[in-house]
Amino acid sequence: MNSVITDATDQALELDDEMLCLMRSAKIMMVDDEPINMRVLQLHLNVEGYERFVSVSDSTIAMSVLRAEKPNVLLLDLNMPEVSGLEILEQIRADEELKRLPVIVLTSSNSEDIKFKALQCGANDFLPKPVHASELALRMRNTLVARSYEQRIMHVDSLTDLPNRLALADYIEQHVANNELGADSHALVLINIHRFKTINDSYGSARGDDVLWAFSQRLRLAFVEAAAEEHGSGDSVLVVRLGGDRFGVFANLLENPSAQSVLQGQLTQLLKSLEQPFAVESSDVYINVGIGASYFNTTTKTVEALISHAETAMRNHDQNSGYPCTFFSAEMTDGARRLLDIENGLRTAIEDNALYLTYQPKVDVQTGLITGAEALLRWRDAKLGELSPVEFIPVAEATNMIVPIGLWVLEQACHQAANLRRTVAPHFKIAVNVSVAQLAEPHFTDFVLAALKSSGLPSRALTLELTENMIMDDVEASIAKLAALRELGISISIDDFGTGYSSLSYLHRFSVDQLKIDRSFIMQIESLEVGSPIVKAVVMLANDLGLSIVAEGVETEIQLAYIQTLPRMEYQGYYMSRPLIATEFEKLVIVNMQKLAA
């Protein structure tokens, strides 16, 4: 009997390199209340070529040691005091992390009952005690081979033969456990094929698979084979298919001082290779990829975190950097985080009473009289502090929250202006900024009418400021809307004039009343003699067209003096006053009137 087993061992154990490697790296854990048994097992296995062992004689701590050690195989004695082998087996199979661990049970009992019980509990194999060396070797080998096959199936992408996402996760976990991954020593480069779905949709998924396979070959060529040529082994990079049309390159960047530029060079090479089309049926298919990278470090150490940060880097890729790949940095999410905070804060800003208006005077250039004001929105958030509209208005626009917010501004501005007209300045006019989303609202005109009605402000005292691009985006609809508003007596002003893409003559098609010359033109006025030919030309033309004019951002005496030489207009700017809260603004209006009356 013994000789039969020995012969079989000699024949079967034609150990190839892969098998030897498997044996050497396998961590074998033994649980037996008799330490001598484990010493014997270890001795036998040592002779075969196994090197890594963990022995536990106290069955009560078996589970915690298992969780800490994560062995490849467990040799488990069934017959132990306190906690029996069967109980441990049951716990293993119920444990999320350990449930697939191969377990070979050792039993001196010949009872079929016990064996059946062990199988029921999930034992993978048996070894009768006392253990025969050759049988031990064979059972151990078979278990490991079965295990490695399963591992291979689980870790390799069947389409491209590349390691998959799980393989990358395990690779990282293993290297972390062995202390081989330090902060910023490695990076994941994410390579995403753009609009791969259209290839699948137009040629069918079988052809789509062909493209993926061919793409994976180019990837291999650019990284694994290039690295092998460079330093004789492709070990410094792991090329993986992360799923679908997404691939990854996990690269060791400490390998040599120029590892990062080598990596960028390889990516450039890859991009170059993509200039060649993929032949699909009789067509040439070109593919584009997005690339982003993320360093492995203490905050980014799982595959999920690496991918997510690489995605962020991909979105933030700087085309002008000259490199194919941008690395993730914390500021990228800081920016996104802040946008999210702003969005969340804005949702309750009205009910939190966190919004308020400031007013910047519009002044008659010739007389110095304050004729009206522009209402400018402010937001003081409990968490974010004071925010500039330059920062939060775009968020409000993107999320359509500008509609309710704009309505609030309109109501508030109309009420405060009506008040001022009643108490201080009977001819006072108020200007309110309007966003494109507001104008697009079907009921926008009704909202405006309602605000006028509830405040008692006459329509001739209200000006709506719109930017030129807003009107040009949807010309026909805009013409109708603006005409309707003007019919009600409301004035329309073109804000930031000169920064958009319309021309003065074209603007004449729209029913508008006023042009606001953008601050950037006024800023260029540095002397009375030179002035600004552009400002002069615009003012002359607007004057001919019968439009009133407002110069924005007048900051200096010279700028004011220059526009005083042009046809009559109004101005706004720090030279007269910054935007003020309502009470301060009212004081300014009173002082202005007293000064002019004196």
Q: Confirm if 65 and 29 have CB atoms less than 8 A apart.
A: yes
Which of 77, 495, 570, 586 is close enough to bind ligand C2E by CB under 6 A? 495
Which of 37, 433, 532, 559 is close enough to bind Ca ion by CB under 5 A? 433
Q: Confirm if 525 and 546 have CB atoms less than 8 A apart.
A: no
Q: Residue 302 CB, nearest distance to Ca ion (Å)?
A: 48
Could you give the CA distance from residue 488 to residue 445 in angstroms, rounded to a whole number? 9
Which of 71, 208, 361, 573 is close enough to bind ligand C2E by CB under 6 A? 573
Residue 555 engages ligand C2E in binding (rule: CB under 6 A) = yes
Helices (H), 348-495: 389-398, 402-423, 436-440, 444-455, 468-473, 475-487
Nearer to ligand C2E, 92 or 375 (CB): 375
Residue 491 engages Ca ion in binding (rule: CB under 5 A) = no
Q: Is 474 helix (H, G, I), strand (E, B) or coil?
A: coil
Tokens describing residue 341: 């905070």
Which of 388, 503, 524, 564 is close enough to bind ligand C2E by CB under 6 A? 388
Helices (H), 424-570: 436-440, 444-455, 468-473, 475-487, 504-507, 519-522, 533-544, 557-564
Beta bridge partners, 107, equal 128
Residue 592 engages Ca ion in binding (rule: CB under 5 A) = no
Nearer to ligand C2E, 200 or 493 (CB): 493
Nearer to Ca ion, 290 or 389 (CB): 389
470's contact among Ca ion, ligand C2E, none, with CB below 5 to 8 A by partner kind, is none
Residue 553 engages ligand C2E in binding (rule: CB under 6 A) = yes
Each residue 145-174 as x (binds Ca ion by CB under 5 A) or -, in order, gives: ------------------------------
Each residue 362-381 as x (binds ligand C2E by CB under 6 A) or -, in order, gives: --------------xx----
Polymer length in residues for the chain: 598
Residue 174 engages ligand C2E in binding (rule: CB under 6 A) = no
Q: Confirm if 114 and 101 have CB atoms less than 8 A apart.
A: no
Q: Is 371 helix (H, G, I), strand (E, B) or coil?
A: strand
Write a three-state SS string for 42-80. Answer: HHHHHHHCCCEEEEECCHHHHHHHHHHHCCCEEEEECCC
Each residue 330-369 as x (binds ligand C2E by CB under 6 A) or -, in order, gives: ------------------------------x---------
Closest CA to 425 of 496, 372, 472: 372
Q: How many residues bind ligand C2E (CB under 6 A)?
A: 23
DSSP H/E element including 234: none
573's contact among ligand C2E, Ca ion, none, with CB below 5 to 8 A by partner kind, is ligand C2E
Q: Confirm if 164 and 156 have CB atoms less than 8 A apart.
A: yes
Which of 409, 517, 535, 538 is close enough to bind ligand C2E by CB under 6 A? 409
Residues that bind Ca ion (CB under 5 A): 433, 465, 495-496, 552
Residues that bind ligand C2E (CB under 6 A): 360, 376-377, 388-390, 393, 406, 409, 433-435, 465, 495-496, 519, 553-555, 572-574, 579
